[in-house]
Amino acid sequence: MTITQDTTRRFSAKWLQDLAVRYAMVIVMVLIISFFLYRSARFGTVDNVVTILIAAAPFALIALGQTLVILTGGIDLSVGSIIALSAMSGALTAKTFPDRIWLALLVAVAVGLIAGSINGLVVSIINVPPFIATLGMLTLASGLAFVVGGGAPINGLPAAYGQIANTEIFGLTIPVILMIVSIVGFGILMKRTAYGMRVYAVGGNRLAAEIAGVKTGRILFSVYAISGALAGLSGIMLSSRVISGSPNLGQGYELDAIAAVVIGGASLLGGRGTIWGTALGLLLIQTLNNGLDILTVPAYWQDVIKGVLIVTAVAVDVWASKRRV
Amino acid sequence: MADELGTLECRDLTKAFGGIPVLKGISLSLAPGTITALAGENGAGKSTLMKIASGQYRPDSGEVFVRGESLPSGNPQAAYRLGVAIVPQELASVLEMTVYENIFLGRELSGPFGLRRRAMIESARQILHVFGVDIEPTRRMGSLPVGLRQIVEIVKATNTGARVILLDEPSSAIAEREVGKLIEVMRTLRDRGVALLFTTHKMEEMRALADRVLVLRDGELVLDEPLRNLTDDDIVTAMIGRELEGLFPALPEPGTEAVLEIDNLHVSGAAAPLSLTVRRGEIVGLAGLVGAGRTELLETVFGIRKSIAGSIRVKGTTIKGGTPAAAIAARMAFVPEDRKGAGAVLSMSVLDNATLPRMDKFSVGGLLRQGFRRSQVREAMDAVKLRSRGLDQSMETLSGGNQQKVVLARWLTSPVDVLILDEPTRGVDVGARSEIYRIIVDLAEQGMAVVMASSDMPEILSLSHRALVLRNGIIAGELDSEQLAHPGVQDTIFRLASGLEGIDSSTPDPSTNNQKDN
C-alpha cells in the first residue's frame, strides 16, 4: 500500500513536471513575442507577421521532411545542397523552355526526389549511417549545383518564373500557403495514418517494428525521398522569389531545419517528436530572427542567442526524458 | 590470519525493486581458495546478489564484509579497492584497444616520458602466461573470440589484486571448447587463494568446478552444501522447488489437424535441418541451454532470419520465408524473448503498439480508423486483464508483466493460427506469470498451435503437451506428456540439453527410477 501511495505522490509531481515540459516551448514563445511587442510597435503589425511567414516558408518544407527523417532516428544533412541543385535545375529549365514554367517546377521537385531517393537507398539497403550518406549527398549536390550553372548564377529568367512564388492568394504568397497546407497535411499524416505510425515505430524500435510486420526498409527509404522532394520544392520557391538560380542558395539551411525539429522537442535518437513541435520550433526561430532584426541586434549576436536556445531546448528534452521513466 | 584473507561475507542482505522483494535476507561466506557455484532460476536473485557484493547496488538492509572490512554500500570503487572484482555477463572490454591496454586500463604504467608500453606488454605477457593463455598482448581485443576476451577480463581482475572474483554466467556466451580453458583459469585462481563465485545453469560446470553449491530461489538461499554431498537431483529440486500446482491451468486436449508444419528447415548456425509438426490446440515446449538455437529456430519460422533450406507451412500453405510480414499474413504471431529490444516500441502508447501488427485491418486507404481500433484493442486488452491507466499510456511506464500482456494480446485483434512464444515470462513476476499461463492455455484451447521456448523448467513441464530439447540447433530429444509428468524428467532434460545423454539413450523408465522423489 505504501508503495502505491508513494508512486501516486510522485506521479502527481511528475504530472506537473510533464505539463511544464510539454508547454515549455509555448511559454517561451509567448514570452519572446510579448518582449518584442513591448519593445517595438512595428513587430505586431500584419505586414510584419506576413514577413515572418514568408521567411519561414522555405524552411518549413525542409523542416517537415527533416522531422520525418529524425523520427526514424536518422538525419538529413543534404537538404541545403539539394535546394541549390534543384533551384539551379529549375532555373536552367525555365531558361531553356521559357514557355513551360510548370516544367521548371516539375524538374526541380524531381531532382530533389531523386537526390533524396539516393539517400534513402544508401541508408536503407546498404545501411550506411544517415549522417555519412547525407553528408556525401551534401557535397555531391552542392558540386552539381555549380556544374549546372557552370559555376555562375542563372539570371535573365522569364517573368513568369517569378509567379511561382510571388503570386498572392488572399494576401498570402504561394510558399506561405504551401507551408500552411504542408504543416496541416503532415500533421494529419503523422498522427492519423498507418504510414505515420510506422515511421514512429521504426524510429522507436526498428526490430520491434520489423517483428510487427512493418517493412522498415521501405519506411526508411520513403522518409529520405520525401525530405529530398520537399527540399526540391523549397529550392524552386526560393529561386522563383528572386527570379534567378544561384548555386549558393540554401547553404546551411539544413542546420536551421534540424534546429527547428530539435527545439520542437524531437529526439535525435528517433521515435519522439511531432509536426506541431517542429512548426512551433520553426516559428520560434523565425520570430526571433525577425524581432532581433527589428531591434537591430547585430547578426553575430543573433547567432549567439540562437545557439543558446538550441542547447537549452535539447537540455530540457534530456531532463524530461530522464523523468519519463 | 591467512585464512581470513580473501573472504567475502554477506550478512542478511535484502533488496527490493519497485516493492517486489528480490533478496530476502541472504547470508553467506566465501573462503579463500574455493570455488562456489550459485545456481537458481532466472529471476531468483543471482545477479542482484552479485551486484550488491561488488558494490554496484545498495542493499536495503544487511552488510557485506571483505576480509573483515565493511564494504560501503553502493560504491563500486570501494569494492575494487577492497579486492572484489566482477566479470559481468556482458563483457566490459574496449574492443578497439589491445589486450595489454585493456589489462592496464585505469592503472597504466607511465614514466617521465609518458606511457611505458614495452613494460606493460611484457608484464601482460607474463600474467597471461601464468594462466596458460599465450595471447599476443598487442592483439586487438575485438579480434579475440569471446571466450578469450572473458579470460583477459578475469586476468585483468586478478591483476588489480582481486581476492574475490564474481563471475556472472561465465560460460553462457562462449563456445564449448573455450569452456575448458575457462575452467583451467578458474582453477589456477583457486590455487592462488582467490575466492570465486560463479553463476551457472549447467550441471556439468558445477560438477567440474565447484567445491560448494548455493541455490537461490525467489530471493532465498534454499541450499548451501559442499558439492560432494549433493546429487544433481538435489540441486534441481532445490532450484525448482515451489509448488507447481495452481500456477498452471489444466491443459486442454489438443486436436488432430496439423497446423504448423516445419519441413527439413535448416536454420543458419544449426548443425542439421529439423522437422516439426504442431497440431491444432497443441503447446510444444522447446527446452535447451542458452545458445542451443531455440531463439534462432523461432525467429526463422517467423521470418526474422533467413533459413538455409527447408519449408514452413501453415494449414498446408507454404510461407514465403525471410519476412515477418508474410508470416503475419499467414496468421502467425510472435512474442519475442527480448521484450524491450524487440517486442514493443516503448516510446509509443499501448494503443499504437497494439495497432502496429494489424495495420491493414485498422486503416482504410492509409487513414487509421480511430474508433474501431480503440474498441478492438480495448477488447483484446480486457481479455488479458491489462492493468493500465488507459490505452494511451506509454508502454515504458507499464510493469514487465503488463508489457508482456500487451505484446501478447496485440495479436488477438485478428485470428491467429500459430502462436510463437520465446521466453514468455522472462522478467515477469509470479502473479502476472500465472495470468499469462492462463492466456496461453486459453489461446491453445481456441485452436492455435503454440510453440514456446522456455528456460523455465516448470513452464516446460506443466505448460507443454510435448517438449523438445534442443542442442546445437537440432532436436536432442523429445518428451511426451507422460514423460513430462515423470519425477526424473528434469534431470533427463538437463542431460539431453548438455549433451551428457545422446539422442538415442532413452529417458528413465517410469516404473524403475527415482522412487525417492515421490
- Mutation choice for B interface testing from A191, A199, A211, A214 by most B CBs within 10 A: A211
Residue B393 amino acid letter: Q
Confidence of residue B176 (pLDDT cuts 50, 70, 90): low
Contact of A21 with chain B, judged by CB distance below 8 Å, is answered with: no
Contact A197 B346 (CB under 8 A): no
**Based on the domain organization, do B226 and B304 belong to the same domain?**
no
Q: Is the per-residue pLDDT at B168 higher than 50? A: yes
- Stretch B163-167: mean pLDDT: 90
User: pLDDT value at position A69?
Assistant: 97
Kindly determine whether residue B352 and residue A271, on different chains, have CB atoms separated by under 8 Å.
no
Q: Which of A244-253, A261-270, B175-184, B228-237 has the lowest mean pLDDT?
A: B175-184
Same domain, B196 and B227: yes
SS3 sequence, chain A?
CHHHHHHHHHHHHHHHHHHHHHCHHHHHHHHHHHHHHHHCCCCCCHHHHHHHHHHHHHHHHHHHHHHHHHHCCCCCCCHHHHHHHHHHHHHHHHHHCCCCHHHHHHHHHHHHHHHHHHHHHHHHCCCCCHHHHHHHHHHHHHHHHHHHCCCCCECCCCHHHHHHHHCEECCEEHHHHHHHHHHHHHHHHHHHEHHHHHHHHHHHCHHHHHHCCCCHHHHHHHHHHHHHHHHHHHHHHHHHHCCCECCCCCCCHHHHHHHHHHHCCCCCCCCCCCHHHHHHHHHHHHHHHHHHHHCCCCHHHHHHHHHHHHHHHHHHHHHHHHHHC
The string of pLDDT tens digits covering residues B78-97 is: 888 888 888 877 667 788 88
Q: Average pLDDT for residues A196-213, to the nearest whole number?
A: 91
Please, what is the end-to-end C-alpha distance for chain A in angstroms? 21
Mean pLDDT of B9-18: 86
Q: What is the mean predicted confidence (pLDDT) over B468-475?
A: 88
Residue A30 above 90 pLDDT? no
Percent of chain A clearing pLDDT 70 (strictly above): 91
Identify which of A192, A214, A324 has the shortest CB distance to residue B396: A324
Is B225 in the same domain as B366?
no
Highest mean pLDDT among A92-96, A116-120, A194-198, B421-425: A116-120
Number of inter-chain CB pairs under 8 A, A vs B: 88
Residue B512: predicted pLDDT:
39
B392-448 pLDDT per residue, tens: 888 887 877 788 889 999 998 888 999 999 988 876 766 677 888 988 999 999 899
Rounded CA-CA distance A181/A289 in Å is 23
Asked if the Cβ–Cβ distance from A208 to B368 is below 8 Å, we say no
In angstroms, what CA-CA distances link A119 with A79, A127, B461? 11, 11, 52
Cβ separation B368–A194 shorter than 8 A = yes
Give a yes or no: residue B421 inside a domain. Answer: yes
**Assigned CATH for A45-313:** 1.10.3470
| Set of cell numbers at residue B6 | 580473501
Which CATH number belongs to the domain containing residue B38 in this structure? 3.40.50.300
Asked if the Cβ–Cβ distance from A324 to B370 is below 8 Å, we say no
The answer to whether the CB atoms of A3 and B367 lie below 8 A apart is no
Residues B325 and B367 occupy one common structural domain:
no
Query: Would you state the pLDDT for residue A323?
Result: 55
Q: Is A5 a residue whose pLDDT tops 70?
A: no
pLDDT over threshold 70, residue B368: yes
Is B498 inside a domain boundary?
yes
Q: In this structure, are B392 and B358 located in the same domain?
A: yes
Residues B394 and B493 in one domain: no
Average pLDDT over residues A151-161: 88
Q: Do B284 and B396 fall into the same domain?
A: no
Residues of B within 8 A of A207 (CB-CB) are 341-342
Q: Which residue is associated with the grid cell 506428456?
A: B481
Q: Are residues B507 and B365 in the same domain?
A: no
Q: Note whether B400 contacts A: Cβ–Cβ < 8 A.
A: no
Host domain of residue B87: 2-240
Of A3, A214, A324, the CB nearest to B356: A214
Domain final residue, candidates B240, B267, B300? B240
Tell me if residue B127 falls in helix, strand or coil: helix
Region A94-116: what's the mean pLDDT? 93
Q: Which residue has the cell 606493460?
A: B120
Mean pLDDT value of segment B477-495: 84
pLDDT at B333: 92
pLDDT band at B484 (very low <50, low <70, confident <90, very high): confident
pLDDT in tens, A125-155: 999 999 999 999 999 999 999 999 888 899 8
pLDDT surpasses 80 at B515: no
Domain boundary pick from B194, B213, B240: B240
Whether B362 contacts chain A with CB within 8 A: yes
- Number of domains observed in the structure of chain B: 3
pLDDT of residue A84: 96
Give B327's pLDDT tier (boundaries 50, 70, 90). Answer: very high
Which chain B residues contact residue A198 at CB under 8 A? Answer: 356, 359
Alpha-carbon torsion angle A39, A41, A46, A48, nearest 10? -60
Pick the closest to residue A160 from A103, A84, A231, A229 (CA basis): A103
Q: Is residue B248 part of a domain?
A: no
Amino acid at B1: M
pLDDT (0 to 100) of residue B346: 87
* Residue A82's pLDDT band (cuts 50, 70, 90): very high
Q: Same domain, yes or no, for B351 and B325?
A: no
pLDDT at A67 exceeding the cut of 50: yes
Domain boundary among B240, B266, B291: B240
pLDDT tens profile A279-291: 989 998 898 889 8
Which residue among B325, B367, B368 sits closest to A215, beta carbon to beta carbon?
Answer: B325
pLDDT beyond 60 at B503: no
Residues B301, B232 share a domain: no
Check if B396 contacts A (Cβ < 8 Å).
Answer: yes
User: Which pLDDT does position A14 carry in this prediction?
Assistant: 64
pLDDT at position B72 over 80: yes
In this model, does residue B6 exceed pLDDT 90? Answer: no
| Assigned domain for B387 exists | yes
Shortest Cα distance, chain A CAs vs residue B517, angstroms: 40
Neighbour count for residue B85 (Cβ, 10 Å): 22
**Is residue A27 very low, low, confident or very high in pLDDT (cuts 50, 70, 90)?**
confident
The minimal CB distance from A197 to the residues B325, B342, B356 is found for B356
The percentage of chain B sitting over the pLDDT mark of 70, rounded to a whole number, equals: 91
Angle of helix B400-409 versus helix B370-383 axis, rounded to 10? 120
How sure is the predictor about B48, in pLDDT bands with cuts at 50, 70 and 90? confident
pLDDT average, residue stretch B355-384:
89
Asked if residue A212 has pLDDT above 80, the reply is: yes
pLDDT of residue B181: 80
C-alpha pair distances (Å), A39 with each of A34, A75, A286, B220: 9, 37, 17, 70
Contact A200 B352 (CB under 8 A): yes
Q: Does the pLDDT at position B508 exceed 50?
A: no
Most confidently modeled range among A5-14, A186-195, B89-98, B318-327: A186-195
Choice between A10 and A48, residue whose per-residue pLDDT is larger? A48
Average pLDDT, chain B: 83
Q: Residues B410, B377: contact at Cβ < 8 Å?
A: yes
For residue B1, the 8-state DSSP code is -
B164-167 vs A168-169, strand pairing mode: unpaired
Q: Residue B12 domain-assigned?
A: yes
Cβ-Cβ contacts under 8 Å for B232 (sequence gap 6 or more): B203, B491, B494
For the cut 60, the answer to whether the pLDDT of residue B517 exceeds it is no
* Whether residue B288 sits in one domain with residue B142: no
Pairing of strands B418-422, B449-453: parallel
Taking residues B189-210, what's their average pLDDT?
85
Model pLDDT, residue A180: 94
Chain B closest-CA separation from residue A2 CA (Å): 9
Mapped onto helix, strand or coil, the DSSP state of residue A285 is: helix
Q: Are residues B53 and B129 in the same domain?
A: yes
Chain A 66-105, residues with CB within 8 Å of chain B CB atoms: none
% of residues, chain A, pLDDT over 90: 51
Q: Residue B461's pLDDT is what?
A: 87
Question: Which of A212, A215, A271 has the CB atom closest to B356's CB atom?
Answer: A212
β-pairing, B332-335 vs B418-422, is parallel
At B514 the pLDDT is 39
